[in-house]
Amino acid sequence: MLAHENNFGLLGIEIYVPKKYVDQSELEQFDQVSQGKYTIGLGQLKMAVCDDREDINSICLTAVNSLLQKYQIDPKSVGRLEVGTETIIDKSKSVKSVLMQLFADSGNTDIEGIDTTNACYGGTNALFNCLNWLESPYWDGRYAIAVAADIAVYKSGSARPTGGAGAVAMLLGPQAPLVFDRGLRATHIEHVYDFYKPDLHSEYPEVDGPLSNKCYTKAADVCFNRYLDKLAAKSGSQTSFDDIDYVLFHCPYSKLVQKTFGRLAYNDFKRQPDNEKYKDVQQFLQTSEEESYVSRDLEKAFINVTKDTFAKKTLPTLLAAKNMGNMYCGSLYGGLCSLLAAIDAPELLNKRVLLFSYGSGLAASMFSLTVKGDTSRLQKQLDLVSRLDQRTKIEPGAYDTVMNLREKTHNARDYAPAGLVNEETFFKNTFYLEGVDSKFRRQYSIFQ
């Protein structure tokens, strides 16, 4: 059978939702900023919180273990497992190697893949590597699992409300209900210092916010046009934004996604300026590229033009982002979880979903999948709305204490975590950090 006849894609998906969160409107009051700065200005409602009981290993252990259990996957049937993350707690040992504990009882050590890192893009690279393996002569008939996960934290200041945490594990294989479109990847990679983490003694990044936003926007421009060109070449006909049913974005904060959705429409307008739907924005046809990046009038105009299509094509995909915050590598795939949770299977069938992945530094890709089968099982297993509703709210003061604790204990040895382990702080079957010994070796337990 030819590779394209296997319909390789997503067979199952699981998201780890931390039990604790802080309310963004309450955080506004605590931080003594103007009302709506986080909730309207950033478009965020709640932010997931991980204390010193959780790290990148624990949240990935939880996500992959849950995926295996929910979809009743024999550990021996997994042939590739790759992790995308920028949350580094060891400069040598991979998160993937820690996840192999989940396969120890089965005796399966024949699992390819390690970790892949470039800011928020690592999860996408892990996914691409898994798909490349499935379509290669090295595929041995077993499943692949791609994991995209991070704990996003910032030092005290204006960036802190754009944090969050989460992990997404994706089960990949043949005859999938969500099939990745072959030949439709558009990538843009260049060297820039917009967001980076040179200080290995700290969890916090160095961030140039305005530059990062511009880099994100430029990458979206380039990838979108390249994607449409490839789609046109493949279909043999002219293509436009109208050929896309849903659009998922890497989401540092929700307001940026809405602006970028409008930006894609601006690019579409430049490709087909005579389209009737763009009759009210003709004044921007001669705007230079550089001016377009700073024109607030242009930005507002295209947000307004796309208000209804944004509400249909992208707003349903922001459920996790608005309520969990930025998951870095997991952000885009939290959007996919949100889409599956929000839209019922009959409505999704035969729809094309466009995905935009961005990682600072920078690496970006735009690619798509087509829904070719029943997604109702994925929706049921995610149970995302219910899980978000069952979380524990903590006060902003408690969140501030957690952040101070994480800062003081980062890279600590001989450390016993202070965070509580109970039903208020963890969902059942969640892995947590038991302790770190004198040689920095970490031990984990699972909350039952």
Q: Which residues are catalytic?
A: 86, 120, 250
Whole-Å CA distances, 84 to 103, 125, 195, 429, 440: 19, 7, 17, 22, 22
What is the phi-psi region of residue 438: left when phi exceeds 0, alpha when psi lies from -120 to 50, beta otherwise?
alpha
Q: Is 81 left (phi over 0), alpha (psi -120 to 50) or beta?
A: beta
| HEC letters along the chain | CCHHHHCCEEEEEEEECCCEEEEHHHHHHHCCCCCCCCCCCCCCCEEEECCCCCCHHHHHHHHHHHHHHHCCCCHHHEEEEEEECCCCCCCCCCHHHHHHHHHCCCCCCCCECCEECECECHHHHHHHHHHHHHCCCCCCCCEEEEEEEEEECCCCCCCHHHCEEEEEEEEEECCCCEEEEEEEEEEEECCCCCEECCCCCCCCCEECHHHHHHHHHHHHHHHHHHHHHHHHHHHCCCCCHHHCCEEEECCCCHHHHHHHHHHHHHHHHHHCCCCHHHHHHHHHCCCCHHHHCCCHHHHHHHHHHCHHHHHHHCHHHHHHHHHHECCHHHHHHHHHHHHHHHCCHHHHCCCEEEEEEEECCCEEEEEEEEECCCCHHHHHHHCHHHHHHCCEEECHHHHHHHHHHHHHHCCCCCECCCCCCCCCCCCCCEEEEEEECCCCCEEEEEEC
The whole-angstrom separation of Cα 416 and Cα 414 is: 7
